[in-house]
Structure 1
Amino acid sequence: MRAGKFIFFTFFCIFGSSLADESTDAFTGDLLRAVFSQSNVQQNTVLSPVSLYDVTALLQQGSGGNSLEELTKVLHADAPTTRKRYADLIRSIKADHSETQLEFANKVYIENGFPIQESFRSVAVQDFQAGIENIEFKQAQQAADDINDWVSENTHGRIKDLVKSDSLTPDTAMVLLNAVFFAGNWTYQFEPYGTVDSSFTTLDRQTKSVSMMHLSETLMAGEIEELNAKFVRLPFRGDEFSMIIVVPNDVDGLSDLIDKLQEDHLASILASAERRNVDLSLPKFKFSTTSKLVPTLQKLGLNDIFTDASNLTGIASSPPLYVSDVTQKADIEVDERGATAAAATSVTGAGSGLPLNVLYIEANHPFMFFIVNDIDFLPIFSGWVGNP
């Protein structure tokens, strides 16, 4: 019997919840290190760890045997735990937010007539709040158009053409999708008149002129001796979300910074934050990233689901299923008013006190960023800027 295949994509969109725990934190560190080690020639990268985690956790619900063991290891949590956490997360995300726009959507496209297990359908609909729709993958161009329309609609037009028709074949049985959209403006906006042309040293040690923004404000910030870096929290209006900028002290310190995240996760880094007078220089930047994540997930230890050894019988008992593609497409824009970003992933088949001395943070060389919620620092977006 011919095996069926499915693909999962994640996409995430942000302009300008509460789930952070050791498992999500560890997954983020693992993901960033794996992607950087495989694609460090890229100038810039933006990823949505929570989007990829969500879709992979949904896949975990239908896995068994060694496939389940691998997924549990990669996600740092078992299936009942990830199911409960993401059910709580989705409810939190869909709640009203005072001054930000946050949307979260899951979708499962299933080949017409393909029999999926009712238990998986129930988990997808009730816990992951996924819409389920039948589709004719044999009509590849129409199916790709329908999927891309859903992606575009759920990212407010930020992500287009995520799925190519040639990635859909007569063997395609299912496509899993996640979309997150966030829009927010800075609490403390950079004054446009303070933006000036300045120099930035790129990953390949070239110097270029960039539009450098400037902000002098009392913010949560700090220095991390173990990481040889400085960081600052830039809050969005509404006091629910922030962008964390982490700048290595050394011009070529990005690689060491990412490597050390294994020992110093985001929550523990931010626990050292103090209210400081900060003088920040930050370049405006805008870029997009398309990440093919099968090699990345294999590097993290996820192998069976991409081969004939795949055990996804909790999704469908027959024909056998395997994952053929995992793709995330994202873009981000940061300017004086706020941050704007978008990403898509698919699978087919804190402190208070008096201000201290001024902390100067000059992001004039490669640095990292995170977009998090302010309760538990759930990493919604993360990445690095090497060439703004």
Structure 2
Amino acid sequence: MDRFNIALCGTLLLLLLQSTAASKLFEVLSEKYATENLVISPFSIGSALTLAYMGSGGQTAEELRLALNFKTSDKLRTAMQYENFLRTLKQPAANDGPTLMVANRIFTNHRISLQPSFNHLVGTYFDAQAQPLNFGDKVAAAEQINNWVRQQTAHKIDEMISAEDLDEENTIALILNAIYFKGKWSKSFKASNTIAKDFKVNAHETAPISMMKKTSEFKFGYLNELDATAVELPYASSNINMLVILPNQVNGLRTLEQKLAFVDWSTISSNLHSQQIKLELPKFKATFSTDLAKILQQLGVRHLFSDAADLGAMFSSSLAVKVDKVTHKAFLEVNEEGAEATAATSVHMVAKSAMAYTHVPELIVDHPFVFVIRDERTVFFVGHVVKPE
């Protein structure tokens, strides 16, 4: 059976994968990469898998629909919703507003062609242009693909695939989605206030970091059921923010992430209240790369990777095609000015922060924590930091 690769990329200086589905994916990945810095873009992953869903049928389509948390099997309706969302993303930002760019592309083996109906659907609603390549010339084809990724991610991701990943006989197509985000904090940190400090990697190990400091009004709260504290940092002229969730215990990250699998991010945000706090947040960078194939199978997407895969609605000829890899790469940087990123059961919580304080609360983010870059509808990036770099 021929191979079909899905590649996802993104960059961070972070609708379709809904918040609940994003939480499940993050919980599985956070366990697997518990001792590494982790950053993924659920939006990028969801976008590329949605393109595959548009060309799938039978049980393959049903498994993708459930994993993506789509409430309807009407593909045209889903495509139209995606188009509407892309249109909102492409609206010009305010002068100091964040940059958020999304791009889709399908690279096909020059020996095959896409179904006209599929090509029209993804071209019209996903702005996903198909580009034929000669995979026999591996080096040139890989360079064209990687050059597209570089252009979409401001050169934060230089190599999405290698020449060895391509095979003229077996590689049929690659679906790529890239997302790039760069935003300034609404309330920036002064570089002159940044100090050297120790970060508690665990109860026995510390690492030197640069700690940013600011006293200002933020949405803040104690989350008793999660045994954690959270703060929300807004980006300028935008409804996008970074939610930072710090476990109360130095070694509490794994327990927190297990609980977060059953919590909608918006529920946490709604339990935070604006107030003056003293915040200390480390500067950090995180680079992450993984093949999501086994993870997605663990989450119920199995037919897509098997000989029983049904992707007949995608290609003109009756090819026997299955997905071989789902590669995801992402980058995140957080500093005094803001953040830059790319990629290609409910717990009821009551926030103590509604209480009246006789002092200004402090949140010192000096041990492993979770972060989410999102707006009220979409999780663009999520991850954890176990050792700032």
* Separation in structure 1 between the aligned mates of residue 152 and residue 219 of structure 2, nearest angstrom: 33
- State the secondary structure of the residue aligned to 1:371: strand
**After superposition, where does 1:282-321 map in structure 2 within 5 Å?**
282-316=281-315, 318-321=318-321
Q: In 2 relative to 1, CA 330–205 (structure 1 residues): closer, same or farther, beyond 3 Å?
A: farther
Is 2:53 aligned against 1:60? yes
Corresponding residue of 1:219: 218
* Separation in structure 1 between the aligned mates of residue 136 and residue 193 of structure 2, nearest angstrom: 55
The alpha carbon displacement at 1:285 in A equals: 0.5
Deviates more, 1:193-202 or 1:49-58: 193-202
Q: In 2 relative to 1, CA 7–356 (structure 1 residues): closer, same or farther, beyond 3 Å?
A: farther
Corresponding residue of 2:347: none
* Separation in structure 1 between the aligned mates of residue 172 and residue 384 of structure 2, nearest angstrom: 35
Pick one of 112, 137, 141 that aligns with 1:143: 141
Q: In 2 relative to 1, CA 61–204 (structure 1 residues): closer, same or farther, beyond 3 Å?
A: farther
* Separation in structure 2 between the aligned mates of residue 223 and residue 119 of structure 1, nearest angstrom: 51
Corresponding residue of 2:62: 69
How big is each residue's C-alpha offset from its partner over 1:93-133, in whole Å with a ceiling of 9 and x where there is no partner? 11111122111110011111313212211111011111211
How big is each residue's C-alpha offset from its partner over 1:208-231, in whole Å with a ceiling of 9 and x where there is no partner? 221111111111121211111111
* Separation in structure 2 between the aligned mates of residue 355 and residue 40 of structure 1, nearest angstrom: 34
* Separation in structure 1 between the aligned mates of residue 8 and residue 101 of structure 2, nearest angstrom: 14
Is 2:112 aligned against 1:119? no
Corresponding residue of 2:179: 180
- State the secondary structure of the residue aligned to 2:361: strand
The alpha carbon displacement at 1:354 in A equals: 10
Is 2:39 aligned against 1:46? yes
Q: Tell me if the contact between 2:232 and 2:241 (Cα under 8 Å) persists in the aligned partners.
A: yes
Is 2:368 aligned against 1:366? yes
* Separation in structure 2 between the aligned mates of residue 153 and residue 239 of structure 1, nearest angstrom: 24
Corresponding residue of 2:199: 200
Q: Which amino acid in 1 is paired with 2:140?
A: Q
Is 2:329 aligned against 1:329? yes
Q: Tell me if the contact between 1:277 and 1:356 (Cα under 8 Å) persists in the aligned partners.
A: no
* Separation in structure 2 between the aligned mates of residue 197 and residue 253 of structure 1, nearest angstrom: 24
Is 2:19 aligned against 1:25? yes
Q: Which amino acid in 2 is paired with 1:138?
A: G
Corresponding residue of 1:167: 165
Corresponding residue of 1:266: 265
Q: Which amino acid in 1 is paired with 2:186?
A: T
Q: Which amino acid in 1 is paired with 2:335?
A: D
Is 2:29 aligned against 1:35? yes
The alpha carbon displacement at 1:207 in A equals: 1.1
Q: Which runs of 5+ in 1 are unaligned?
A: 345-352
Corresponding residue of 2:152: 154
* Separation in structure 1 between the aligned mates of residue 85 and residue 383 of structure 2, nearest angstrom: 22
The alpha carbon displacement at 1:41 in A equals: 3.1
* Separation in structure 2 between the aligned mates of residue 261 and residue 121 of structure 1, nearest angstrom: 38
Question: How large is the RMSD of aligned CA atoms in angstroms?
Answer: 1.9
Corresponding residue of 1:234: 233
The alpha carbon displacement at 1:203 in A equals: 4.7
* Separation in structure 2 between the aligned mates of residue 176 and residue 290 of structure 1, nearest angstrom: 17
Q: Tell me if the contact between 1:185 and 1:339 (Cα under 8 Å) persists in the aligned partners.
A: yes
How big is each residue's C-alpha offset from its partner over 1:139-173, in whole Å with a ceiling of 9 and x where there is no partner? 11111000000000111111101111111112111
- State the secondary structure of the residue aligned to 1:382: strand
Q: In 2 relative to 1, CA 135–234 (structure 1 residues): closer, same or farther, beyond 3 Å?
A: same
How big is each residue's C-alpha offset from its partner over 1:312-346, in whole Å with a ceiling of 9 and x where there is no partner? 111125111111111111111111111122222xx
Q: Tell me if the contact between 1:218 and 1:355 (Cα under 8 Å) persists in the aligned partners.
A: no
Q: Tell me if the contact between 1:15 and 1:185 (Cα under 8 Å) persists in the aligned partners.
A: no
The alpha carbon displacement at 1:195 in A equals: 1.1
Q: Which amino acid in 2 is paired with 1:90?
A: L
TM-score, scaled to structure 2: 0.91
Deviates more, 1:168-177 or 1:311-320: 311-320
The alpha carbon displacement at 1:36 in A equals: 1.6
Q: Tell me if the contact between 1:266 and 1:377 (Cα under 8 Å) persists in the aligned partners.
A: no
* Separation in structure 2 between the aligned mates of residue 214 and residue 41 of structure 1, nearest angstrom: 26
The alpha carbon displacement at 1:24 in A equals: 0.6
Q: Tell me if the contact between 1:180 and 1:343 (Cα under 8 Å) persists in the aligned partners.
A: yes
* Separation in structure 2 between the aligned mates of residue 134 and residue 152 of structure 1, nearest angstrom: 19
How big is each residue's C-alpha offset from its partner over 1:281-338, in whole Å with a ceiling of 9 and x where there is no partner? 1111112111211111111111111111111111125111111111111111111111
Pick one of 65, 89, 94 that aligns with 1:93: 89
Q: Which amino acid in 2 is paired with 1:53?
A: G
- State the secondary structure of the residue aligned to 1:85: helix
Corresponding residue of 1:350: none
Q: Which amino acid in 2 is paired with 1:360?
A: E
Q: In 2 relative to 1, CA 384–333 (structure 1 residues): closer, same or farther, beyond 3 Å?
A: same
Q: Tell me if the contact between 2:19 and 2:264 (Cα under 8 Å) persists in the aligned partners.
A: yes
The alpha carbon displacement at 1:84 in A equals: 3.1
Q: Which amino acid in 2 is paired with 1:33?
A: E
Q: In 2 relative to 1, CA 281–176 (structure 1 residues): closer, same or farther, beyond 3 Å?
A: same
The alpha carbon displacement at 1:366 in A equals: 0.3
